[in-house]
Amino acid sequence: MPIIEQDSWRTQYFEGVDCPDDIVIPTDDEYAYRLYPHFRWIYNKLLICETQNLEHAPHGVAPQRFPVFSKPVYNLRGMGVGSRVIASREEYEHVQQPGHMWMPLLDGEHVSSDVALVDGEPVWWRHVLGQALGDGVFDYWTVLAERRPGIELYCGNWLRRHLPGYSGCVNLETIGGTIIEAHLRFADQWPDLYGNGWIEAVVSLYAQGVWSFAGRGCRTGYSVVLSGPPGLTLPRFDRGAVPGLLAGPEISSIQITFDEGRLAAGHAMPPGGPRLAVVNCWDLGAGFAVRERLAEMMALPPSTRKGTPLCAPGADADRGRVPGSAVSGRD
């Protein structure tokens, strides 16, 4: 199974999938960077801005107007590590650091789009909206069944111009239809929500340069996140309890997104707090319920949990309506 997955909690999506031994499919930016030297420029966020004529510069070249969004020029670990809004020139003078850049603070929907490319031509799209809590922390994502024609037109033209010769998956993050990040991989947080046969189609894409996924019966899904407060010591958790939480048909998969044997500093975590679990599901309420149960099993006090409480006023009314965010994170 030469589908390279760095996070042990996500190997569940690729186990049992046949893949030729000479074909390597990356799910992490570190491996994609090594595998595709001709296209690795895509991880330089200065170039992402330059190819779209966005105002930008590395720290040391001061913005002419504020606020701006600041982040590392390169970040292969994801999770929005090192990102922040800079509100004023005074703040900029205080926080600027080598290896970081600034760009416009964008408004609009924050969308993560997975794209399958054959020789630089987009042949399949799937779009995901994130409900942000701030500081790189997300409450949940909605994996949309419907298309985003504006994104597909703008980003499709960008891909055709800049990735001819590339066959494989690309993940794009956009805010208001503008690309803020690009990755030579798909988002490995929710491939189970793309439909049966999708991973097999990805293998065919990398092995043969063809795309065979019809995508019939596309359903809206949700990826619900349990996060803790900044500085939390990673809790102990009995992974043997996970199968019991998967009993309902509304729950597709559960990821416990940390290894107790590793120090917290060994995990890439958002500035707003550590990510502890992800629940992929077909019903948002069911996902919230499992998240609450996981929080109890990890002995997280209610006041420290990040995310929408199951009984929060308006939770049902907001189901499926996900405002955008100006904070970029991996997945």
Q: What is the pLDDT of residues 146-196, one digit of tens each?
A: 999 999 999 999 999 999 999 999 999 999 999 999 999 999 999 999 999
Q: Which residues contact 42 (CB under 8 A, 6 or more apart)?
A: 48, 162, 163, 182, 183, 184
- Residue 58 pairs in a beta bridge with 101
Q: Has residue 94 got a pLDDT over 80?
A: yes
Nearest Cα to Cα of residue 99 among 136, 71, 69: 71
pLDDT 10s digits, 291-307: 999 999 998 888 777 77
Cα–Cα distances in Å, from 114 out to 173, 185, 331?
Answer: 9, 8, 10
Rounded mean pLDDT, 101-114:
95
Q: Has residue 86 got a pLDDT over 90?
A: yes
pLDDT band of residue 260 (cuts 50, 70, 90) is low
- Lowest average pLDDT, out of 166-170, 182-186, 237-241, 250-254, goes to 237-241
pLDDT 10s digits, 304-327: 777 766 544 334 333 333 333 333
154 three-class SS: helix
The more confidently predicted of residues 316 and 254 is: 254
pTM of the complete model: 0.87
Amino acid at 294: L
Q: Has residue 37 got a pLDDT over 70?
A: yes
